[in-house]
Amino acid sequence: MPDIIYDVAVSADGYICGPDAEVSGFATQGPHVDAYTARLATYGTVLMGRRTYEFGYAYGLPAGANPYPRAKTWVFSTTLVLPADAAVSAVRDTWQDRIAALKAQAVAPIYLCGGGAFAGWMLDRGLIDRLRLKRAPVILGGGVSIFGASKTPVIGEVTASRTWANGVAYAEICL
């Protein structure tokens, strides 16, 4: 059964974005972005929370559009309103059951795109198999924590790591 992988950029102080969803401190070009883009091609399913999905609206994503068109995308939200012809699917309830069914049917790794609150909910339930962290050499000082309000302790095993010349450090961690 394929893994659910939280593949995420994070600041040195543990935030996936700063206050007001600020992400300008994260480098958008370089070898770490090329590596991330290559990994995106391996995912068959994408999971995300509503705030992560709606974050795309600020960058021109129309409501209902799929930000990852080569993969089936599921947005977990009790409040998201999508057009009838949406290219993404909303999951309103029985989240854990839906995730279990998606994992059982998957033929490729599942990308947990975020965000912090949804990732924390998944961590609390043991639903994340692997982390792929791109730690940026930036201090945001606040914002959205990588696992939201979760306090679940987990000891993982680093299975791969590297640091690029631009200071971005990558670690793959099996949970």
Query: Rounded distance, CA 59 to CA 136, Å?
Result: 21
pTM for the model stands at: 0.96
Residue with tokens 């033929």: 107
Query: Rounded distance, CA 123 to CA 128, Å?
Result: 6
Q: Is the peptide bond before 115 cis (omega within 30 degrees of 0)?
A: yes
pLDDT along the chain (175 residues), means of 10: 97 96 92 96 97 95 96 97 96 97 97 95 98 97 97 97 96 98
The encoded tokens of residue 23 equal: 């992400």
